[in-house]
Amino acid sequence: MENRWIWPFELKEKIGQGGMGVVYRARYVKNDREVAVKLLPPEIASDKKIVTRFERELEVLKKLKHPNIVYCFGGKCEGDQHFYAMELVEGGSLERLLKKRGRLPWEQVIEYSLQLCSALHFAHDHGFIHRDIKPGNLLLTNMGKLKLSDFGLARARSEARLTEHGKTMGTFHYMAPEQIRGKPPLSPQTDLYAMGCVMYEMLAGRPPFRGHAPAEILQKHLEKAPPPVSANAMDCPPKLESLIQDLLQKDAKKRPQSAIDVARALKQVTQSTSLDATTRELAVRNTQAARAVQDAMSSYDSDITPRTGYGSWLLSALVACLVVMIFLLGWNLYSVGGTGSSGRAGELWIEALKDPRPEVRRRAAEVLGEVGATTEGSIDALKSGISDTDRGVRLACVQALGELGGAAKHSLIELDKAKNDSDGYVSREAGEAYKKVSEAEEISSGLPEWFYYVAGFFTVVAGICTVYVRKIMREMNSKY
């Protein structure tokens, strides 16, 4: 260490330090790659409990290879050397981002939360509970990708506890009631409670419970309900606030059952909020169109005398027909495929699914799972993605098809083949997606194409007749 070497790594500046070790920026001498090296200094390496936890963290990270979990290259725990190398995440932590910006937009909170759900689901699926979810343990790449780190307190659900019975381990701002009491059993819901605390802090700019001393904060976790998120984040969608309330339930059984359930709820927040905005915009446009027609025709009333009662009735009928036709056209366009902007955006994501970078293809597949039902060609693009060489892209494609449900009926053959994927996780998700799609009702593509032509024709005819009748009525008025 005097020469700042721990072979085969050359240690550079220190980038982090905690009770479980020190992290250095380092150079791997065999290929000059920059990595992060975490090691136990001699002064704490004599503590057997700390060494045991360090060794456990190394073993856990070796088993958890996931895009949203910090990648571990391996390490050594022998004699007086205890270290391991992991990927270097340059963007800092979520904790640092929150200190800089205060709070985050709800759309960004959902994006980070979805990535955390993916990491937690993978860890829980492999039998591990993190037990220390907090902003400081969520690292961000320069591209905004979230990485879950620091598995020093993680434990397998099937293994004996390292923590003595009744002893509290974790960070008190984010600890679930059962974790505070130090009583088993801890479960995936313990991590989901901490995730709810982190989501609350991202939205509100403060953790759900604050106090002058740790004991006061821990007592609030056990007994108090947190203030509404909307008190500090007025733009927070109601469904997102409701989800956070569910995550912060004192009783673990009342929380969502898995990280997958949380991810589905987060996607529903995005979809429903987008749909509400589209519906409001369509309603405003229809109202404005109806008012414009009424305003344009209001001048006709002044030209109509009592002697032209039949013409007045005919004119009113034509105006009503014109308004109804305009509304039917607008409503059918909305119900069939959403707005034109979503269609154009979907086409861009279809192109992105061909990008050479796997992270871009994965993101494109996730987005097409949300807008695919409204974009022509998206289902075929996702079907092609099932055979992608990247495991993450294949996983994202089968999950996206599953989310589309009945709209993806024509993908059952590909999903059935994906159930035999070489990656066990992909094959399981393909089975789930196949079940969803096969059980869902097939979504109709809307009214037949000829409807547009017929409705457009009658709209034009109604407009011409309206102008013509107005002209005749004026001529009649001039005679009288």
What pLDDT score was predicted for residue 306?
A: 44
Name the pLDDT band for 420 (thresholds 50, 70, 90). very high
Confidence label for 87 from pLDDT (cuts 50, 70 and 90): very high
pLDDT of 304 reads 43
What proportion of the chain, given as a percentage, has pLDDT over 90? 41
- Please give the mean pLDDT across all residues of the chain: 81
When pLDDT is cut at 50, 70 and 90, the band that residue 125 belongs to is very high
Can you name the CATH fold of 340-439?
Answer: Leucine-rich Repeat Variant (1.25.10)
Q: What is the pLDDT of residue 329?
A: 61
Cβ 371 vs Cβ 405: under 8 Å: no
pLDDT band at 163 (very low <50, low <70, confident <90, very high): very low
Q: Residues 191-213, buried b or exposed e (16+ Cβ, 10 A)? A: bbbbbbbbbbbbbbeebbbeeee
Structural tokens at position 194: 């901490």
User: Percentage of the chain surpassing pLDDT 70?
Assistant: 74
pLDDT value at residue 406? 85
Q: 94-267 architecture in CATH?
A: Orthogonal Bundle (1.10)
> Is residue 176 a contact partner of residue 196, using CB atoms and an 8 Å limit?
no
State the average pLDDT over residues 268-294.
58
Torsion of CA 81, 82, 83, 84, to 10 degrees: 120
- The pLDDT score that the predictor gives to residue 191 is 96
- Alpha-carbon gap, residue 252 to 131, rounded angstroms: 14
Higher pLDDT, 274 or 123: 123
d(CA 149, CA 70): 6
Give 331's Cβ-side CA count (13 Å radius). 8
Mean pLDDT is lowest, of 35-39, 300-304, 356-360, for 300-304
Residue 282: pLDDT over 90: no
Residue pLDDT, tens place only, 46-76:
788 888 888 888 889 989 999 999 999 988 8
Mean local confidence (pLDDT), 73-92: 86
Superfamily of structural domain 5-86 = Phosphorylase Kinase; domain 1 (3.30.200.20)
Calpha distance 432→426 (Å, rounded)? 10
CA distances from 315 to 57, 132, 286, 318, 475 (A): 80, 72, 21, 5, 15
**Given the DSSP bridges, would you call strands 128-129 and 5-6 parallel, antiparallel or unpaired?**
unpaired
Q: Which residue has the higher pLDDT, 247 or 45?
A: 247
pLDDT at 324: 66
Q: Token pair of 410, please? A: 């024509």
Please check the confidence at residue 446 and state whether its pLDDT lies above 60: no
Rounded Cα distance between 266 and 236, Å, is 12
Higher pLDDT, 102 or 473: 102
Q: Check residue 99 and give its pLDDT.
A: 95
Cα gap 109→195, rounded to integer Å: 11
pLDDT at 387 over 70: yes
Packing angle between helix 358-371 and helix 391-404, nearest 10 degrees?
A: 0
Interval 148-159: pLDDT, tens: 998 888 777 655
Domain ranges of the chain: 5-86, 94-267, 303-337+448-480, 340-439
Q: What is the pLDDT of residue 345?
A: 65
Structure tokens at 450: 């000829």
pLDDT digits (tens, 9 = 90+) for 296-320: 555 544 444 444 454 555 666 666 6
CB-based contact 205:98 (threshold 8 Å): yes
Is the per-residue pLDDT at 1 higher than 60?
Answer: no
pLDDT surpasses 60 at 445: no
How many other C-beta atoms can be found within 10 angstroms of the C-beta atom of residue 372?
A: 24
Predicted pLDDT of residue 458: 73
Q: What is the mean pLDDT of residues 433-440?
A: 90
SS3 18: strand
Just list the catalytic residues.
Answer: 132
- What is the spatial distance between Cα 180 and Cα 178, in angstroms, rounded to a whole number? 5
pLDDT at 378 over 50: yes
Helix (H, G, I), strand (E, B) or coil at 263: helix
Residue 238: pLDDT band with limits 50, 70, 90? very high
